[in-house]
Structure 1
Amino acid sequence: MATAADIAPGHAWSYRGAQLPSSRVVIGRIDIAGATTVASVSIVDAPLPDPETGALAPRLVEHAPIAIEALLPSLLRREGDAPIPDGFDGGYRVWRNAFDAGQGGFFTLGVEEIVRMFQTALAPQRAAH
């Protein structure tokens, strides 16, 4: 299992339960948030629903803050370095401002569970007839 010393901004990792072989976690920032260390990550090629069809397609989760205790067991293998994706900095700033104001939190789920949560939340809603 990865340790906190193994991860740094710019590292790309494969993760447990990835539904697409190309899906990776890219570490963007690591912060101390109160008593918890939080890794802010992007999830590249996350299989998320197309808003129109609902079909799963590789998409980018620009920013997800995850408690380090939840992230580390998810990480399988470091796959080298990767650029921090466009959109990460804006998402990070919005989260950090909300967190500092007492209005933002962080995930305590593993990466696979976070992707599944996004799949459910982003699935097109069908109108009842």
Structure 2
Amino acid sequence: MATAADLAPGQAWSYRGAQLPSSRVVIGRIDITGATTVASVSIVDAPLPDPETGALAPRLVEHAPIAIDALLASLLRREGDAPIPEGFEGGYRVWRNAFDAGQGGFFTLGVEEIVRMFQTALAPQRAAH
């Protein structure tokens, strides 16, 4: 099992419960925020709903801040290095500014649960008739 010392920006990892074999976590940054270490990651090929059809398709979660312990519990194996996705830095800056102002948090769920939460949040809403 990986430890916090094993993690570094630019690493790609497989994770428990990935619904697509190609889905990976790419580490963008690691911040020590008081008593907690937070990893900011991108999730590549996350199976997320198409906004119009609702069908799951591989998409990018540009930025997700996650407590290091929750991330470590999710990781399976390092799959090499990967470029940090475009869009990560903008999402990170928005989160970090909110966090520093006391208005942003981070996930304490595992990566699989975060993906499922995004699936629910992004599912097309059907109008009631």
Q: Do Structure 1 and Structure 2 share a fold, with TM-score over 0.5? A: yes
Q: Distance in 2 between matches of 1:17 and 1:49?
A: 17
Q: CA deviation at 1:43?
A: 0.1
TM-score (norm 2): 0.99
Q: Distance in 1 between matches of 2:6 and 2:116?
A: 26
Q: Distance in 1 between matches of 2:94 and 2:34?
A: 18
Give percent identity, aligned residues only.
95
Q: Deviations for 1:9-50, whole angstroms, at most 9, x for unmatched residues?
A: 000000000000000000000001121000000000000000
Q: Distance in 1 between matches of 2:122 and 2:33?
A: 28
Other structure's SS at 1:89 match: helix
Q: Distance in 2 between matches of 1:45 and 1:109?
A: 19
Other structure's SS at 1:71 match: helix
Q: CA deviation at 1:6?
A: 1.1
**Number of the residue aligned with 1:111:** 111
Other structure's SS at 2:53 match: coil
Other structure's SS at 2:120 match: helix
Unaligned runs of 5+ in 2: none
TM-score (norm 1): 0.99
Q: CA deviation at 1:64?
A: 0.2
Unaligned runs of 5+ in 1: none
Residues paired across the two proteins, number: 129
Q: Deviations for 1:90-128, whole angstroms, at most 9, x for unmatched residues?
A: 000000000000000000000000000000000000011
